[in-house]
A = this chain, B = another copy of it.
Amino acid sequence: MQSAAVAHRHFLDGGATAAFPFSHLKSTPTASPFSVRMSLREDAPSLAVVGVTGAVGQEFLSVLSDRSFPYRSIKMLASKRSAGKKYTFEDNEYVVEELTADSFKDVDIALFSAGGSISKEFGPIAAKCGSVVVDNSSAFRMDDGVPLVIPEVNPDAMSHIKLGSGKGAIIANPNCSTIICLMAATPLHRRAKVLRMVVSTYQAASGAGAAAMEELELQTREVLEGKRPTCKIFKQQYAFNLFSHNAPVLPNGYNEEEMKLVKETRKIWNDKDIKVTATCIRVPVMRAHAESVNLQFATPLDENEAREILKKAPGVVVVDDRASNHFPTPLEVSNQDDVAVGRIRRDESQDGNYGLDIFVCGDQIRKGAALNAVQIAELLL
């Protein structure tokens, strides 16, 4: 059985499609043999990847390789179930080790993506061993003293953390929807100060992990065959359907995914007064999120200036071709590093130039998770 996501890439880049269902989680290695030799070197930090067998764990390896991240050694850690599994990374074979309290001796940087409970248990242990933990879970994001970082947005939040100081630390990777939204909103916020944001998301299966992507594909095949779709990860039909995000709903009626956008934005922008509301929806798309973002500013900002600001913003690409009706799509940003922004226009419902509507797409696994974490690690070098 061939993966839909592989077929996506086939359509995306015209490349050959592999039979391995999760080829789409692997990188298109850009590192040359030369850069590979450079990446593995004595003076570089030792790395550990916690949750290496998962969708984001695999993407950590892809991104490290793509960016020629320098390392002295790399430890692949996962649950007992996956221990013994072998991965080839940059021409060397590695055996997955079981994650234990002893896993972090001599580990300089530990990239965590194994779920909140694993992070809660082993993050502090790793930090105590002197490792700098970059954690992709929500376990520590709102903790005082834990920087919540998007490198293009608030690198200074982690400037006090140094490698090789012997002092370990935990740095949190924001939630995927927050990263993708703020990559586009921050350059505009710096210029005109955002007072209020109304966000509606169109979230991919990948946010719920590799198994959710497989379920979407399986369900789609079943529905096309007139069969009742298999619902294991999600309790309802996902194929040809959409539904409110599956995160638990809180007493205020928002689900946890939505409140992450509200609270993480305040912490990352260091502005307790920033007003954010969000409605998070899962759509039958494989691995990239889209977000419709309505912005209200403290000072006027016209759409042309906003477009120019976004064109210059690092990690952002403007796709805003009104004439040919070409705007960002999840498919076009899949396996891409940059967040795409388009539909940049004056908000007809606000006075003057105090409001803008924009539409943003970003790869949930890459910039929404693994890439952002590796960029955080790069700030430590």
Beta-carbon contact of B237 and A331 below 8 Å:
yes
Within 8 A of B (CB), among A164-212: 196-198, 200, 202
In the complex, residue of chain B having the shortest beta-carbon distance to the beta carbon of A235:
B325
Known A242-B330, A290-B281, A329-B236; contact A345-B252, beta-carbon cutoff 8 A: yes
- A253 in contact (CB, < 8 A): yes
Asked if A82 lies at the interface with its beta carbon under 8 angstroms from chain B, I say no
Complex interface: stretch among A111-119, A132-140, A243-251, A362-370: A243-251
Q: Which residues of B contact A276 (CB under 8 A)?
A: 348-349
Is A285 within 8 A of B240, CB to CB?
A: yes
Other-chain residue from B223, B246, B323, B330 in contact with A8 (beta carbon distance below 8 A): B223
Q: Is the CB of A227 within 8 A of B292?
A: no
Q: Do B283 and A292 touch across chains, with their CB atoms under 8 A apart? A: no
Do residues A275 and B349 form an inter-chain contact, with CB atoms below 8 A? yes
A344 touches which one: B217, B253, B277 (CB < 8 A)? B253
Per-residue contact bits, chain A 325-350, to B (CB 8 Å; 1 contact, 0 not)? 10101110000000000111111111
The size class of the interface chain A forms with chain B is: 35 or more
Contact B285 A347 (CB under 8 A): no
Chain A positions 280 through 301: 1 when the CB is less than 8 Å from some CB of chain B, otherwise 0: 0101111000101010000000
In A53-67, which residues have CB < 8 Å from any B CB? none
Specify how many copies of this chain sit in the oligomer.
2
Q: A242-B330, A357-B279 are in contact. Are A248 and B325 (CB under 8 A)?
A: yes
Interface pair B226/A2, CB less than 8 Å apart: yes
Whether B343 lies near A197 (C-beta < 8 A) is no
CB-CB < 8 A to A331: which residues of B?
Answer: 236-237, 240-241
Contacts known (A202-B202, A253-B322, A343-B253); A4 close to B277, Cβ less than 8 A = no
Inter-chain contacts of A277 with B (CB < 8 A):
294, 347-350, 355, 357
A26 at the binding interface (Cβ < 8 Å): no
With A2-B224, A224-B224, A292-B292 known, 18 other A-B pairs at CB within 8 A are A2-B226, A4-B224, A7-B224, A7-B225, A11-B223, A11-B228, A198-B294, A202-B202, A235-B325, A240-B331, A242-B285, A242-B329, A242-B330, A249-B323, A253-B346, A277-B349, A279-B343, A284-B285
Can you pick out 20 interface pairs between chain A and chain B where the beta carbons lie within 8 Å of each other? A4-B224, A7-B222, A7-B224, A7-B225, A8-B223, A10-B228, A200-B200, A202-B202, A202-B242, A249-B325, A252-B348, A254-B348, A262-B349, A276-B348, A277-B294, A279-B292, A279-B294, A279-B359, A281-B290, A284-B284
